Amino acid sequence: MKLRLATLALCAVATTAATSTAFAQQGPKPEDQIRYRQSIMNVMGRQFGMLAGMAKGDVPYNKDAAVKAAGLVDTLSTLPGPLFGPGLDKGAPTKASEKVWSEPEKFKAAYEKMQAEVKKLPAAAGDLATLKAAAGEVGKTCKGCHDDYREKEFRN
Ligand code: HEC
């Protein structure tokens, strides 16, 4: 009897440990991760779009707004990297090409190129002439990756 109780207690401990480990490893579901990465790209796209508009003269230049948007793009650009990791190629409709997962090194290089240019944005945004130059360089890196790794249509 004593032995049985001890065994039961041990089983309970083991079950609890297994459950919590599984939970810790699971994290957010792939579909949530995919939606999260798209949300970040969307906010980054909106903020960068405003800067590109100012650079082109479509939107009146405003120093405070430009510096704020540049800081946001800089911060947001650090987030999507891990959201293109293993297992996040499907689970929700996505425009990310399967090449992201078949050429991870090249994709990473495109991502790092973007980050290197985006880092220069906050300092450049304080003046229209420097913003024009910096936004042009950033825009090339966004487009470069989208041309290679973003599909026109959503896939599952
Ligand atoms: C290293 C590659 C890469 C770089 C660099 C990159 N993107 Fe993207 N972007 C993607 C991929 C892949 C998707 C599609 C994500 C998905 O649908 O899951 C995407 C999607 C988007 C979307 C659409 C989101 C949606 O829900 O349809 C916008 C907007 C966007 N990116 C803006 C930008 C801007 C602005 C930059 C530059 C500052 C940038 N991206 C840099 C790869 C990149």
d(CA 104, CA 122) in angstroms, rounded, equals: 28
What is the 141 CA–ligand 1 centroid distance (Å)? 11
**What's the pLDDT at 14?**
47
Instruction: Evaluate: CB of 37 within 6 angstroms of ligand 1.
Output: yes
Q: Whose CA is nearest to atom 38 of ligand 1?
A: 142
74 to each of 104, 121, 125, 127, how far by Cα in Å? Answer: 22, 7, 12, 17
Q: What is the pLDDT along the chain (156 residues), one digit of tens a residue?
A: 455 655 545 444 444 444 444 444 568 999 999 999 999 999 999 999 999 999 999 999 999 999 999 999 999 999 999 999 999 999 999 999 999 999 999 999 999 999 999 999 999 999 999 999 999 999 999 999 999 999 999 997
Instruction: Evaluate: CB of 48 within 6 angstroms of ligand 1.
Output: yes
Instruction: Evaluate: CB of 33 within 6 angstroms of ligand 1.
Output: no
Domain annotation covers residue 3: no
In CATH, what number is assigned to the domain containing residue 41?
1.20.120.10
What is the 51 CA–ligand 1 centroid distance (Å)? 16
Domain annotation covers residue 9: no
Q: By residue range, what is the domain housing residue 59?
A: 30-79+98-156
How many folded domains does the chain comprise? 1
Domain annotation covers residue 73: yes
**What's the pLDDT at 156?**
79
**What's the pLDDT at 5?**
53
Closest CA to 114 of 143, 142, 91: 142
